[in-house]
Amino acid sequence: GQQLNQSPQSMFIQEGEDVSMNCTSSSIFNTWLWYKQDPGEGPVLLIALYKAGELTSNGRLTAQFGITRKDSFLNISASIPSDVGIYFCAGHLNNAGNMLTFGGGTRLMVKP
Amino acid sequence: GAGVSQSPSNKVTEKGKDVELRCDPISGHTALYWYRQSLGQGLEFLIYFQGNSAPDKSGLPSDRFSAERTGGSVSTLTIQRTQQEDSAVYLCASSTGDIGNTIYFGEGSWLTVV
Protein backbone atom coordinates (compact mmCIF):
# COMPACT_ATOMS: atom_id res chain seq x y z
CA GLY A 1 0.00 0.00 0.00
CA GLN A 2 0.87 3.68 -0.17
CA GLN A 3 3.69 4.45 2.26
CA LEU A 4 4.14 8.07 1.25
CA ASN A 5 1.37 10.61 1.79
CA GLN A 6 1.77 13.58 -0.49
CA SER A 7 -0.24 16.77 -0.17
CA PRO A 8 -1.92 18.67 -1.52
CA GLN A 9 -3.22 16.51 -4.36
CA SER A 10 -3.68 19.56 -6.54
CA MET A 11 -3.09 23.30 -6.45
CA PHE A 12 -4.33 26.12 -8.64
CA ILE A 13 -2.34 29.29 -8.10
CA GLN A 14 -1.67 32.68 -9.64
CA GLU A 15 1.60 33.29 -11.46
CA GLY A 16 4.12 34.82 -9.08
CA GLU A 17 2.82 33.07 -5.99
CA ASP A 18 4.95 30.75 -3.90
CA VAL A 19 4.03 27.06 -3.67
CA SER A 20 4.63 24.49 -0.97
CA MET A 21 3.99 20.76 -1.02
CA ASN A 22 5.06 17.99 1.29
CA CYS A 23 5.33 14.29 1.84
CA THR A 24 5.04 12.38 5.07
CA SER A 25 5.40 8.78 6.08
CA SER A 26 5.23 6.63 9.16
CA SER A 27 8.42 4.94 7.93
CA ILE A 28 12.01 6.16 7.91
CA PHE A 29 13.56 7.10 4.59
CA ASN A 30 17.25 7.18 3.69
CA THR A 31 16.83 9.58 0.77
CA TRP A 32 14.17 11.93 -0.51
CA LEU A 33 13.80 12.88 -4.13
CA TRP A 34 11.50 15.30 -5.89
CA TYR A 35 10.47 14.74 -9.50
CA LYS A 36 8.41 16.78 -11.94
CA GLN A 37 6.36 15.21 -14.70
CA ASP A 38 5.22 17.25 -17.68
CA PRO A 39 2.26 16.02 -19.73
CA GLY A 40 3.28 13.12 -21.94
CA GLU A 41 6.73 12.86 -20.43
CA GLY A 42 8.47 10.73 -17.86
CA PRO A 43 9.32 12.17 -14.44
CA VAL A 44 12.45 14.31 -14.32
CA LEU A 45 14.56 14.64 -11.19
CA LEU A 46 14.48 18.11 -9.59
CA ILE A 47 16.23 17.73 -6.26
CA ALA A 48 17.84 14.85 -4.35
CA LEU A 49 18.32 14.89 -0.57
CA TYR A 50 20.58 12.42 1.19
CA LYS A 51 20.88 13.55 4.81
CA ALA A 52 18.41 14.32 7.56
CA GLY A 53 18.03 18.07 7.94
CA GLU A 54 19.52 18.78 4.53
CA LEU A 55 18.16 21.86 2.81
CA THR A 56 18.89 22.12 -0.90
CA SER A 57 18.01 24.70 -3.52
CA ASN A 58 17.85 24.45 -7.29
CA GLY A 59 16.98 27.83 -8.74
CA ARG A 60 13.50 28.75 -7.50
CA LEU A 61 13.08 25.32 -5.91
CA THR A 62 13.98 24.50 -2.32
CA ALA A 63 13.55 21.14 -0.65
CA GLN A 64 14.32 19.80 2.80
CA PHE A 65 14.88 16.34 4.24
CA GLY A 66 13.05 16.28 7.58
CA ILE A 67 15.00 15.75 10.78
CA THR A 68 12.87 12.72 11.67
CA ARG A 69 13.61 11.21 8.20
CA LYS A 70 9.88 10.73 7.79
CA ASP A 71 9.03 13.83 5.80
CA SER A 72 10.15 16.29 3.15
CA PHE A 73 8.86 19.47 1.62
CA LEU A 74 9.33 21.21 -1.72
CA ASN A 75 8.87 24.95 -2.14
CA ILE A 76 8.65 26.78 -5.45
CA SER A 77 9.06 30.53 -5.28
CA ALA A 78 7.64 33.08 -7.72
CA SER A 79 5.81 30.48 -9.81
CA ILE A 80 5.70 30.79 -13.59
CA PRO A 81 3.42 29.10 -16.14
CA SER A 82 6.03 26.47 -17.05
CA ASP A 83 5.93 25.19 -13.47
CA VAL A 84 2.68 23.46 -14.44
CA GLY A 85 2.90 19.70 -14.06
CA ILE A 86 2.74 16.91 -11.54
CA TYR A 87 5.29 16.87 -8.74
CA PHE A 88 6.18 13.58 -7.09
CA CYS A 89 8.11 12.95 -3.94
CA ALA A 90 9.99 9.68 -3.75
CA GLY A 91 12.31 8.04 -1.33
CA HIS A 92 14.39 5.04 -0.47
CA LEU A 93 12.93 3.33 2.58
CA ASN A 94 15.35 2.27 5.28
CA ASN A 95 16.15 -1.41 4.78
CA ALA A 96 14.59 -1.45 1.32
CA GLY A 97 17.84 -1.24 -0.60
CA ASN A 98 17.56 0.58 -3.89
CA MET A 99 13.77 0.38 -4.14
CA LEU A 100 12.17 3.78 -4.74
CA THR A 101 8.73 4.49 -3.28
CA PHE A 102 6.61 7.29 -4.76
CA GLY A 103 4.01 9.63 -3.34
CA GLY A 104 0.70 10.11 -5.13
CA GLY A 105 1.73 13.39 -6.76
CA THR A 106 0.71 17.04 -6.55
CA ARG A 107 -0.85 18.48 -9.69
CA LEU A 108 0.14 22.15 -10.03
CA MET A 109 -1.75 24.56 -12.23
CA VAL A 110 -0.54 28.15 -12.68
CA LYS A 111 -2.78 30.91 -13.93
CA PRO A 112 -0.91 33.59 -15.91
CA GLY B 1 22.25 6.79 -25.59
CA ALA B 2 22.19 9.74 -23.27
CA GLY B 3 18.93 8.82 -21.55
CA VAL B 4 16.56 5.95 -20.93
CA SER B 5 14.91 4.99 -24.19
CA GLN B 6 11.53 3.25 -24.39
CA SER B 7 9.59 1.82 -27.29
CA PRO B 8 6.98 1.94 -28.54
CA SER B 9 5.99 5.36 -27.29
CA ASN B 10 2.34 4.57 -27.98
CA LYS B 11 0.58 1.23 -28.41
CA VAL B 12 -3.08 0.49 -29.01
CA THR B 13 -3.98 -3.16 -28.75
CA GLU B 14 -7.09 -5.28 -28.67
CA LYS B 15 -8.20 -6.93 -25.48
CA GLY B 16 -6.73 -10.40 -25.22
CA LYS B 17 -3.63 -9.71 -27.29
CA ASP B 18 -0.09 -9.86 -25.92
CA VAL B 19 2.16 -6.79 -25.90
CA GLU B 20 5.87 -6.25 -25.43
CA LEU B 21 7.37 -3.01 -24.21
CA ARG B 22 11.08 -2.34 -24.52
CA CYS B 23 13.47 -0.34 -22.35
CA ASP B 24 17.06 0.59 -23.14
CA PRO B 25 18.64 1.98 -19.95
CA ILE B 26 21.39 4.56 -19.62
CA SER B 27 24.72 3.02 -20.56
CA GLY B 28 26.52 1.66 -17.52
CA HIS B 29 23.46 1.62 -15.27
CA THR B 30 23.12 -1.75 -13.59
CA ALA B 31 19.72 -1.18 -12.00
CA LEU B 32 16.53 -1.11 -14.07
CA TYR B 33 12.97 -0.51 -12.91
CA TRP B 34 9.52 -0.74 -14.41
CA TYR B 35 6.69 1.40 -13.03
CA ARG B 36 3.08 1.79 -14.14
CA GLN B 37 1.12 5.02 -14.05
CA SER B 38 -2.61 5.01 -14.60
CA LEU B 39 -4.27 8.21 -15.81
CA GLY B 40 -3.90 10.94 -13.21
CA GLN B 41 -2.37 8.57 -10.68
CA GLY B 42 0.98 8.08 -9.00
CA LEU B 43 3.65 5.59 -9.92
CA GLU B 44 3.11 1.93 -9.13
CA PHE B 45 6.23 -0.21 -8.82
CA LEU B 46 6.23 -3.35 -10.98
CA ILE B 47 9.68 -4.96 -11.10
CA TYR B 48 13.33 -4.19 -10.37
CA PHE B 49 16.51 -5.68 -11.85
CA GLN B 50 19.92 -5.21 -10.23
CA GLY B 51 22.93 -6.66 -12.00
CA ASN B 52 22.89 -10.44 -12.07
CA SER B 53 20.69 -10.78 -8.98
CA ALA B 54 17.25 -12.34 -9.14
CA PRO B 55 14.74 -9.58 -10.00
CA ASP B 56 12.33 -8.20 -7.42
CA LYS B 57 8.95 -9.07 -8.96
CA SER B 58 6.90 -8.12 -5.94
CA GLY B 59 5.00 -5.36 -7.78
CA LEU B 60 3.75 -7.37 -10.74
CA PRO B 61 -0.06 -7.26 -10.50
CA SER B 62 -0.74 -10.71 -11.98
CA ASP B 63 0.92 -13.64 -13.72
CA ARG B 64 0.01 -12.06 -17.05
CA PHE B 65 2.90 -9.67 -16.44
CA SER B 66 6.53 -10.68 -16.87
CA ALA B 67 9.82 -8.99 -17.62
CA GLU B 68 13.23 -9.98 -18.80
CA ARG B 69 16.55 -8.23 -18.88
CA THR B 70 18.99 -9.74 -21.33
CA GLY B 71 22.71 -9.20 -21.11
CA GLY B 72 22.28 -6.85 -18.17
CA SER B 73 21.06 -4.08 -20.44
CA VAL B 74 17.85 -4.00 -22.49
CA SER B 75 14.66 -5.07 -20.75
CA THR B 76 11.32 -6.23 -22.14
CA LEU B 77 8.06 -6.04 -20.20
CA THR B 78 5.46 -8.49 -21.54
CA ILE B 79 1.76 -8.34 -20.81
CA GLN B 80 -0.18 -11.41 -21.92
CA ARG B 81 -3.89 -11.49 -22.68
CA THR B 82 -4.22 -7.75 -22.13
CA GLN B 83 -7.24 -6.37 -20.29
CA GLN B 84 -8.69 -2.86 -20.41
CA GLU B 85 -7.44 -2.17 -16.89
CA ASP B 86 -3.88 -2.65 -18.20
CA SER B 87 -4.22 0.67 -20.03
CA ALA B 88 -1.61 2.97 -18.53
CA VAL B 89 1.77 4.53 -19.08
CA TYR B 90 4.57 2.06 -18.46
CA LEU B 91 7.68 3.87 -17.30
CA CYS B 92 11.17 2.42 -17.27
CA ALA B 93 13.97 3.88 -15.18
CA SER B 94 17.60 3.08 -14.51
CA SER B 95 20.30 3.94 -12.01
CA THR B 96 23.88 3.05 -11.17
CA GLY B 97 22.58 0.61 -8.58
CA ASP B 98 24.33 2.22 -5.63
CA ILE B 99 22.18 2.27 -2.51
CA GLY B 100 20.17 5.48 -2.47
CA ASN B 101 21.22 6.51 -5.96
CA THR B 102 18.77 8.55 -7.97
CA ILE B 103 16.96 6.96 -10.85
CA TYR B 104 16.28 8.43 -14.26
CA PHE B 105 13.11 7.81 -16.22
CA GLY B 106 12.32 7.25 -19.85
CA GLU B 107 9.38 9.00 -21.46
CA GLY B 108 7.14 5.99 -21.08
CA SER B 109 5.14 3.68 -23.28
CA TRP B 110 1.46 4.66 -23.45
CA LEU B 111 -0.61 1.48 -23.67
CA THR B 112 -4.28 1.57 -24.57
CA VAL B 113 -6.28 -1.67 -24.55
CA VAL B 114 -9.52 -1.45 -26.51
Confidence of residue A7 (pLDDT cuts 50, 70, 90): very high
pLDDT digits (tens, 9 = 90+) for B45-56: 899 998 888 898
Residue B31 with chain A: CB contacts under 8 Å: 98
With bands split at pLDDT 50, 70 and 90, how would you rate the model's confidence at B83? very high
Confidence of residue A92 (pLDDT cuts 50, 70, 90): confident
CA distance A58 to A79: 14
Contact A60, A77 (CB under 8 A): yes
The reply to whether residue A98 touches residue B104, judged by beta carbons under 8 angstroms, is no
Collapsing DSSP states into helix, strand and coil, what is residue B92? strand
Instruction: List the single residue in B4, B43, B100 with the smallest CB-CB distance to A50.
Output: B100
CB contact under 8 A, B43 and A102: yes
DSSP per residue, B23-34: EEPPTT--EEEE
Q: Is the pLDDT of residue B91 over 80?
A: yes
- Contact by Cβ (8 Å): A36, A86: yes
What value does the mean pLDDT of chain A take? 91
Whole-number percent of chain A with pLDDT over 90: 74
B5 vs B71 pLDDT, higher one: B5
The answer to whether residue A8 scores a pLDDT higher than 70 is yes
Tell the burial category of A97 from Cβ atoms under 10 Å away from its Cβ (0-12, 13-18, 19+).
Answer: middle
Q: What is the pLDDT of residue B100?
A: 65
User: Which chain A residues have a beta carbon less than 8 Å from that of B108?
Assistant: 41-42
SS3 B69: strand
Name A89's Cβ contacts closer than 8 Å, sequence gap at least 6: A4, A6, A21, A22, A23, A32, A33, A34, A35, A72, A74, A102, A103
Q: Which chain A residue's Cα is nearest to B97?
A: A98
Task: Report the half-sphere exposure of A1 (CA within 13 A, side-chain side).
Answer: 4
Does the distance separating the beta carbons of A43 and B45 come in below 8 Å? no
Contacts of A6 (CB under 8 A, 6+ apart): A21, A22, A23, A88, A89, A103, A104, A105, A106, B42
The stretch B30-49 carries a mean pLDDT of 89
Mean pLDDT value across residues B73-85: 97
SS3 B40: coil
pLDDT at A1: 46
Partner-chain contact A42 B45, CB within 8 Å: no
Which DSSP letter does residue B56 get? B
At A44-84, the pLDDT tens digits run 999 999 999 999 999 999 999 999 999 999 999 999 999 99
What count of other Cβ atoms lies within 10 Å of the Cβ of residue A83?
18
Question: What pLDDT is recorded for position B1?
Answer: 52
What residue in B sits closest to A10 (Cα-Cα)? B40
